[in-house]
């Protein structure tokens, strides 16, 4: 007997990868801790710090205001395992000798993680419904806010993927990923203006700020879906995905 000629694998390896990685989040209690922490922070920041209720405005802009901070912290937490765990367990060697390209594997992992972050975001929908119950919000604006937040999560995940590809320690992957995302959040805030003005001149500040997460998310929370911020978030996400893949391939 000879082994049967393997069929052309097509999308099967990719789909298997995506399924395993997504299910992987729920194999450990970490997923539930993550979802709980995300929700607790998302809601309490909006209500207690942002004054969503006191504002008396039926809008979620005070809710989305804190999302860059949340993603900067939680996307690296969810993304830390992407490659670091494969290295630590030695399974990277298995994966790389199975008939799947590194690109397929990387894309499957990345989309699974993004899907997981999307689940966390969807669980905050009761906030939107509460606003809908209390007032008469513009649902189109709320929808664009959610879309922006999801794109912002993807960008942070791209950064996290690179951090995870560089190490076998999930802790190091998390800390470096968080620091890099943290910088992307800070760039958008006024506190850095003086520092930036010193380095780039006052004319450059606005351009620099465009590189920050908040400046790109803000239009979404006002209901403006512009090509530029969409391109920004997707570029960061896919640049991170591409760079992490190259790092793993070249090991």
Partner 1 sequence: MPLIEAQNLSKSYGALRAVRDVSFSVDRGEVVGFLGPNGAGKSTTMKMLTGHLRADAGAARIAGFDVADDAVRAKQHLGYSPEGAPAYGEMTVREFLRFAADLRGLAEPGESVRRTLALCRLEEVAAQGIDTLSKGYRMRVGFAQAVLHDPEVLILDEPTDGLDPNQKHEVRRILKDMAARKAVIVSTHILEEVGELCTRVIVIAKGEVRCDESRDQFLARGADLNAVFRQLTA
> Given the rule CB under 8 A, which of 16-24, 66-74, 220-228, 236-244 is the region that contacts partner 1?
16-24
CB of 111 to partner 1, least distance (A): 16
- Do residues 159 and 180 lie in contact, with contact meaning Cβ atoms separated by under 8 Å? yes
In the bound state with partner 1, the residue whose beta carbon lies nearer, of 11 and 199, is 11
Cα distance between the two ends of the chain? 38
User: Which of residues 12, 40, 54, 193 is near partner 1 by CB under 8 A?
Assistant: 12
- Side-chain-side CA neighbours of residue 112 (13 Å): 23
Strand ranges (E), 161-210: none
- Angle, helices 139-165 vs 170-186, to 10°: value is 130
- CA–CA gap between residue 240 and residue 113 (Å, rounded): 13
- Contact between 90 and partner 1 by CB under 8 A: the answer reads yes
- Contact between 100 and partner 1 by CB under 8 A: the answer reads yes
- Region 146-165 residues binding partner 1, contact defined as CB under 8 A: none
- Contact between 29 and partner 1 by CB under 8 A: the answer reads no
- Contact between 89 and partner 1 by CB under 8 A: the answer reads yes
Element (H, E) at 81: helix 81-89
DSSP secondary structure letters along 212-249: SHHHHHHHHHTT---HHHHHHHHHHHHHHHHHHHHHHH
- Contact between 20 and partner 1 by CB under 8 A: the answer reads yes
- Contact between 15 and partner 1 by CB under 8 A: the answer reads yes
User: Which of residues 3, 56, 191, 227 is near partner 1 by CB under 8 A?
Assistant: 3
Q: Which residues bind partner 1 (CB under 8 A)?
A: 1-4, 6-10, 12-13, 15-17, 19-20, 24, 27-28, 89-91, 93-94, 96-101
């Amino acid at each position: 007997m000879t082994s049967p000629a393997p069929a052309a694998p097509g999308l099967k390896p990719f789909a298997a990868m995506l399924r395993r990685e997504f299910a992987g989040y729920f194999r450990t209690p970490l997923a539930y801790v993550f979802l709980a922490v995300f929700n607790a922070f998302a809601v309490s920041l909006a209500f207690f710090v942002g004054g969503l209720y006191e504002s008396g405005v039926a809008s979620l802009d005070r809710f989305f205001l804190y999302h860059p901070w949340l993603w900067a912290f939680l996307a690296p937490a969810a993304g830390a395992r992407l490659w670091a765990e494969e290295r630590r367990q030695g399974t990277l060697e298995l994966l790389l000798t199975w008939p799947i390209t590194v690109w397929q594997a990387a894309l499957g992992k990345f989309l699974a993680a993004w899907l997981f972050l999307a689940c966390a975001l969807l669980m905050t929908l009761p906030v939107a419904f509460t606003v809908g119950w209390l007032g008469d919000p513009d649902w189109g604006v709320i929808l664009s806010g959610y879309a922006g937040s999801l794109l912002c999560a993807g960008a942070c995940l791209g950064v996290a993927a690179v951090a995870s590809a560089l190490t076998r320690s999930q802790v190091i992957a998390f800390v470096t990923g968080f620091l890099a995302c943290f910088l992307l959040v800070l760039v958008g805030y006024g506190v850095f203006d003086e520092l930036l003005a010193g380095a780039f001149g006052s004319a450059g500040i606005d351009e620099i700020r465009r590189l920050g997460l908040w400046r790109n998310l803000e239009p979404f929370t006002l209901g403006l879906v512009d090509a530029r911020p969409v391109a920004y978030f997707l570029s960061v996400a896919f640049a991170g995905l591409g760079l992490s893949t190259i790092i793993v391939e070249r090991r």
